[in-house]
Amino acid sequence: MAGVDYLADERNKAEFDVDSMKIVWAGSRHTFEVADRISKLVANDPAFRKDDRPMLARKELFKNTLRKAAYAWKLITELRLSEEEASKLRFFVDEPAYTDLHWGMFVPALKGQCTDEQQSKWLPLAYKMQIIGCYAQTELGHGSNVQGLETTATFDPQTDEFVIHSPTLTSSKCYHTVEVLCTWWPGGLGKVSTHAVVYARLITDGKDHGVHGFIVQLRSMEDHKPLPGITVGDIGMKFGNGAYNTMDNGVLTFDHVRIPRDQMMMRVSQVTREGKYKQSDVPRQLVYGTMVYVRQQIVADASCALSKAVCIATRYSAVRRQFGSQNGGPETQNWSVDSQTLWLVYCFMLVAEFLLLISAHYTKSYTGLIQVIDYKTQQNRLFPLLASAYAFRFVGEWLKWLYTDVTQRLAVNDFSTLPEAHACTAGLKSLTTTATADGIEECRKLCGGHGYLCTSGLPELFAVYVPACTYEGDNIVLLLQVARFLMKTVSQIGSGKQPVGTIAYMGRVEHLLKSRCSVQRAEDWLNPSQVLEAFEARAARMSISCAQNLSKFSNPEEVPNKEKTESDPSLAMPTSEAVQTPEQYYNDNPEPNSLIVDVDLNRMILGFAELSADLVEAAVAHCQLIVVSKFLDKLQQDIPGKGVKQLLQAVCGIYYLSLLHKHQGEFLATSYITPKQAALASDQLRALYSKVRPNAIALVDAFNYTDHFLGSILGCYDGNVYPKLYEAAKKDPLNDTVVPDGYHEYLKPLLKQQLHSAKL
């Protein structure tokens, strides 16, 4: 029945002001109003329809994406949308497209790595989309290992040009030679981009100066054909239906392609007319501002993707009813019966459920069935994800501040916070994207069988989202970078150098090593300072323990792959900035060693490969501490709206207590908490689930997502799931005919035992 809100009862249970929470989620009233207006604009425009995506063949799908992107640009120009509104419009269109790379990577790379003169030439073209750019760094044989890239840019002083070339064989340092060396993966490259920022080894006068960025035109501006020497195409279908297949990830080879010298991105290093390589006056660390920008965007996207999945799973969990008693009684019973009896009971329940659903359809009551959201196991899986979505939102907000802070410092050549900012953004990118990818899959399972239908929106969301764990830095490689930063920090303890920002707690490491948790009652776990210290002590103790183990690696013979580890360039920054990494930067400025743990950096590097699994865990503990601390900081702010702050306190509690529960082993092993205190944390967690339960639907309503943006029948606002599922199934192309195509050729002959005469 149109207009009925099947979740109205749930919405009435809310104990806080949802409209105020919407503002908190958006970040400000202004951001909320822009997002609300633009999301409705997109949702109400049939040109942005997306429910057919999983069923479209690749060519049709891709052409449709081109149409949407062009139509979106038309709207942007005709409605004279601001940059903020335009980016929101692309966001709510919700379809991976070449525009993501153009605006998200190509334009920031031009801004970050070009001189002012170069920017004034290229940026106006890019802003008007008179050129379309992509970001070409990854090669078939090298992704994480940026320093291993093999495309070359050789300066030709005769013509004042660079010759860009893809060698046909990788060097013999690989076990397997790759016969075709090419750029592989860049989004927007395959079929659309006219230009690319290409990373290649700069060679002048026979000398290799390492990897640098170049602006290379790929296609004719007249007929879109590849320019001479350029071979380019799409790399083929990717995971999932619809999903990331709207994107033309590409393959590219260069055969001695010539570009003018001024198309090397020369903000930090230059090649003169005579072919002399030199550093500019601009400090090379400046380009890291772009990296912080890109990563803060990825963290913001993580909270968005997770919140979509959680919104779907929460609404559906309130709609879905299963067997068991109401009002929190036992959901299942432990019967000891034979299989025949079980089967009879099962059949009876199916019939009963069917009858109840029929009667519910008319009476709107589901007496005797409970909403699956009331199962404690469902809450234990769902509510920590709901809490994570909020946690990632707030840490993403804080990263925006960090970006401004880093930019301001870089402007006055203050690089003191750069290593910390790099480690922090790398770690948060890794932590939030991993948790989000896992969380979306968990939400699919939380929706039972129907979660597996494309119409649930979850399979496509997962398929679109999961590569975020790989692009812009493989998540494990990033955590290893964080671990290096942690070990470096430990090595400096006692040197007089005070750790800053998110690593400041290491300055109190002696206290954190000695202190013990003082929680005595479950409610004590609601005390922010208790919680913060627990997470700090766990992170500090895990880092110190790793450093102590590393310091045992005094004998180089003990360490397998010593040579590789010492020079493993993939532990340097793998992504946006293919130039000197922050690690290289601070490794150039060594500090005296630690007084607390006898860590020698050289020996430390020897043990790094061997202990990398432990180091990754220490890095995760550090990153979780950052997210917890930023959530707690948020709660220190003035948060208006009836009950909003109280609810957020409960949500925050669920976030950190579920982490504490999940990583109980680490908290116990580092001896900061006792088993009794761990049990009290679990008690408190359960109490918070009960507090959040009546507010669950309102908490996901606060995301303010339109049904179009959610793209899910299970998550639709009115909760009227079953008729919509039924209608959607009817529309499947397989149901166009009652008797399927192929019946006469293949089914009938089989059924009639006439396969011998069938045309097979």
Ligand X SMILES: Cc1cc2nc3c(=O)[nH]c(=O)nc-3n(C[C@H](O)[C@H](O)[C@H](O)COP(=O)(O)OP(=O)(O)OC[C@H]3O[C@@H](n4cnc5c(N)ncnc54)[C@H](O)[C@@H]3O)c2cc1C
Q: Which residues bind ligand X (CB under 6 A)?
A: 101, 135-138, 143-144, 185-187, 244, 249, 467, 470-471, 474, 476-477, 480, 568, 570-571, 574
- Give the residue with the Cβ less far from ligand X, 249 or 434: 249
- Give the residue with the Cβ less far from ligand X, 487 or 632: 487
Cβ partners under 8 Å of residue 335, min gap 6: 342
- Give the residue with the Cβ less far from ligand X, 222 or 563: 563
- Give the residue with the Cβ less far from ligand X, 455 or 570: 570
403: part of which helix (H) or strand (E)? helix 376-411
- Give the residue with the Cβ less far from ligand X, 195 or 538: 195
First to last CA, the chain: 47
Q: How many CB atoms lie within 10 A of CB 220?
A: 12
d(C-alpha 511, C-alpha 502), whole Å: 17
Angle CA(134)–CA(107)–CA(307) in degrees, nearest 5?
A: 85
8-state DSSP, 713: S
- Shortest approach of ligand X to residue 138 CB, angstroms? 3
- Give the residue with the Cβ less far from ligand X, 34 or 146: 146
Q: Which residue is nearest to ligand X (CB)?
A: 143
- Shortest approach of ligand X to residue 108 CB, angstroms? 12
Pick from 483, 481, 499: which is nearest to 591 by CA? 499
d(C-alpha 478, C-alpha 202), whole Å: 26
- Give the residue with the Cβ less far from ligand X, 244 or 383: 244
Please report where in the chains the tokens 């992107």 appear, as a residue: 69
- Shortest approach of ligand X to residue 355 CB, angstroms? 47
d(C-alpha 159, C-alpha 266), whole Å: 18
Cβ partners under 8 Å of residue 355, min gap 6: none
Residue 520 structure tokens: 């005595």
- Residues 452/457/458/462 CA torsion (nearest 10 deg): 120
Contact 218, 230 (CB under 8 A): yes
Contact 141, 174 (CB under 8 A): yes
- Shortest approach of ligand X to residue 405 CB, angstroms? 27
Please give the distance of CA 138 from its chain centroid, rounded to a whole number: 19
Phi first, then psi: what are they for 163, rounded to 5°? -105, 115
DSSP bridge pairs for 470: none
Helix (H, G, I), strand (E, B) or coil at 277: strand
Q: How many CB atoms lie within 10 A of CB 516?
A: 12
- Shortest approach of ligand X to residue 289 CB, angstroms? 19
- Shortest approach of ligand X to residue 47 CB, angstroms? 26
- Give the residue with the Cβ less far from ligand X, 48 or 185: 185
Contact 570, 477 (CB under 8 A): yes
- Shortest approach of ligand X to residue 584 CB, angstroms? 15
* Residue 85 Cα distances to 29, 79, 209, 380, 448, angstroms: 14, 10, 41, 38, 37
Phi first, then psi: what are they for 169, rounded to 5°? -130, 140
Clarify whether 95 is annotated catalytic: no
Contact 371, 362 (CB under 8 A): no
Cβ partners under 8 Å of residue 27, min gap 6: 397
Pick from 452, 439, 455, 449: which is nearest to 305 by CA? 439
Catalytic residue among 441, 460, 472, 533: 472
- Shortest approach of ligand X to residue 209 CB, angstroms? 20
Q: Residue 124, CB half-sphere, CA atoms under 13 Å: how many? A: 5
| Residue 138 is labelled as binding a ligand | yes
- Give the residue with the Cβ less far from ligand X, 186 or 396: 186
What residues are annotated to the active site? 472
- Numbered residues of the known binding site: 138, 187
- Numbered residues of the known binding site for FAD: 138, 187
